[in-house]
Structure 1
Amino acid sequence: MKKVTAMILAIGFGSALVLAGCNSNESKISEGVNDMLDTAEQLAIAIDNGDQAKVKEVGPQLEDQWSSFEEGVKEDNQDLYEKIEKYLDPTIAGSEAATLDKDALETLNDQLTMALKELKDEIK
């Protein structure tokens, strides 16, 4: 009887660790998405104001934020991972360009924002 109880407890504990790990990954993704959405909003304001210095400062932050949780997205949601990557790289490149193309960068940032919001809705 003690062996059965010990086995049940071990299975329960193992399951709890697995579930906690899943929740931790979702929490990390959720926090990362929120950070990226905040940065994308700051970028949108800088683009709208034509503030190229601020655009160059804020845009590259998106890559650092994304790299902190992108593997979890890649594992769990390949379609949204690819969608975010599709808009992220050109948004960053546009933010680092020598001259600011407001219209193109605004469109890319809007598309990136929509993809991030889709991911946020998916992980709720």
Structure 2
Amino acid sequence: MKKLTSTVLAIVLGGSLLLAGCSSTDSKVSDGINQMLDTTEQLSKAIESGDQAKAKEVGPKLEDQWSSFEDDVKKDNQDLYEKIEKYLDPTIAGSEADTLDKKALSTLNNQLTDALKELKDKTK
């Protein structure tokens, strides 16, 4: 009986640890998405106002934010990973350009924002 109790306890404990690990990954992805959405909103405001200095400051933050959780997205949501990658690099490059192309950068930023929102909905 003691052996059975120990086995059941070990299974319950192992399952709990496994679930805690999954929750940690989900939280990391969710937090990362929210940070990126905040940044795309800041970038949108900079684009609308024509504030090139602010766009150059905000845009590159997206890469660091994305790199903190992109491997988890790539593993679990390959299609959305590719969609975000498609818009991320051009958005960052546009934000760092010497001349702010408001129309093109706004379009790219909106597409990136939409892809991030899609990922957020899928990971709820």
Q: What is the TM-score of this pair, normalised by structure 1?
A: 0.98
Post-superposition shift, 1:3?
A: 1.1
Residue 103 of structure 1: aligned partner: 103
Show CA shifts across 1:14-57 (max 9, x none): 11111110011000100110000000000000000000000000
Matches within 5 A, 1:1-124: 1-124=1-124
Give me the whole-angstrom Cα distance separating, in 2, the residues matched to 1:15 and 1:86: 37
Structure 1 unaligned residues grouped into runs of 5+: none
Residue 100 of structure 1 and its aligned partner are, at CA, apart by 0.7
SS at match of 2:104: helix
- Superposition deviation, residue 80 in structure 1: 0.6
Q: Secondary structure at the match of 1:24?
A: helix
1:55-112 Cα deviation digits (max 9, x unpaired) = 0000000001001111111111111111101100110011111111111000000000
Letter in 2 for 1:5: T
> RMSD across aligned C-alpha pairs, in angstroms?
0.6
Secondary structure of residue in 2 paired with 1:14? helix
* Secondary structure, aligned partner of 1:99: coil
Aligned equivalents of 1:71, 1:38: Cα separation in 2: 21
TM-score for the superposition, normalised by structure 2: 0.98
Runs of 4+ in structure 1 off by over 3 angstroms are none
Q: Count the aligned residue pairs.
A: 124
Secondary structure in 1 matching 2:100: coil
CA distance in 2, matches of 1:85, 1:4: 50
Q: Percent identity?
A: 73
Structure 2 runs not aligned, ≥5 long: none
Deviation at 1:5, TM superposition (A): 1.1
